[in-house]
Every structure is written in C-alpha cells, then in structure tokens.
Amino acid sequence: MELESDRGGIAASVKVRKDGKPHQFLTAVTKVSRPERVSITRWQLGMVAAHQECELCHTELSREHAIACSGVMGDMEFARMAAAVPPAERMGKTELDMVINHAAEEMTPECAAVLVRVIDMIEVRCRKRERTEQGFWR
Ligand SMILES: [Zn+2]
C-alpha cells in the first residue's frame, strides 16, 4: 500500500482526531455493528476502490470513479446525507468520505446502515461481488 503518495487517497480521505484516538465508530462505544464498522473501514482504507479495474466499465476504479459509476448518488437517503454536510466540514475526496468523516465522531446506527448500503452497491456493481446468505462476500 502506498502511504506516501496520495494514490490511494487515504491521507486525503481519512479524518484523524486531534487527540489521535480512533473515531468512536471504530470502537465498541457506538451501536454500529462490527460488520458495519469493517465495511466502512474497508472503504476508508482504499480496499474497496483500490485502483483496480472496474468490473462494470473496465476503467480504473478510484474512489471518485466508484461514486460516479455505481450510481450511489441515486440513493436519495445517501444523497441527502451528503448534501447535509456543511461546506466548511467537507473533508475527503468523495461524498462517501465526506459523510463518513462528518459522522465519525458519533455515527448513528441509521447512518451506518446507509453507508454500508452504499458501499455494498459499489462492491456489487463495480466489483461484481456477491454476499452469501450469511452476509459474507463470495
Ligand atoms: Zn466503472
């Protein structure tokens, strides 16, 4: 993983608390479930959109491409959440990063559910992944 360059967009995409502690949604403090935290963290670390080939259109799957190509902005709940982030608090390369960073301090289970749904859309559409009935990716 290239941490030095901004190729994966990690440095520009993950907000770090000033005190250096992990965000609450990453810990057991919140009611966000562990599978949901894993899903959101995978996106943040660039493990979903990792500049591999997009399975849908065969161009490079960057974070920005994942948002545009998967059509997640068509998810009205997510689009509303993205629009609700005040301009001064928009941090991250994409709407998804902005919403995660904005919600990070106190992420509600409702917010996490929408984020996971959006990330799943990207996994399914741009990566052609399928969830098993147990909830694992094939
Ligand atoms: Zn694509």
Distance 54 CA to ligand 1 centre (A): 5
Residue 46 lies in a domain: yes
Distance 73 CA to ligand 1 centre (A): 14
Distance 62 CA to ligand 1 centre (A): 9
HSE-up (13 A, CA, CB side) for residue 65: 22
> pLDDT tens string for the chain (138 positions)?
444 444 555 666 677 777 777 666 666 566 788 889 899 999 999 999 999 999 999 999 999 999 999 999 999 999 999 999 999 999 999 999 999 999 887 788 999 999 999 999 999 999 999 888 887 777
94 close to 46: Cβ distance less than 8 angstroms: no
Distance 20 CA to ligand 1 centre (A): 35
In b/e form, how buried is each residue of 58-85, taking b as 16+ CB within 10 angstroms?
A: eeebbbbbbbebbebbebeebeebbeeb
Residue 106 lies in a domain: yes
**Dist. CA 58–CA 44, nearest whole Å:** 22
Residue 60 lies in a domain: yes
pTM: 0.82
Beta strand ranges found along the chain (DSSP E): 52-53, 60-61
**DSSP run (H or E) holding 80:** helix 76-83
Domain count of the fold of the chain: 1
What residue numbers bound the domain in which 59 lies?
A: 31-127
Residue 15 lies in a domain: no
Distance 48 CA to ligand 1 centre (A): 13
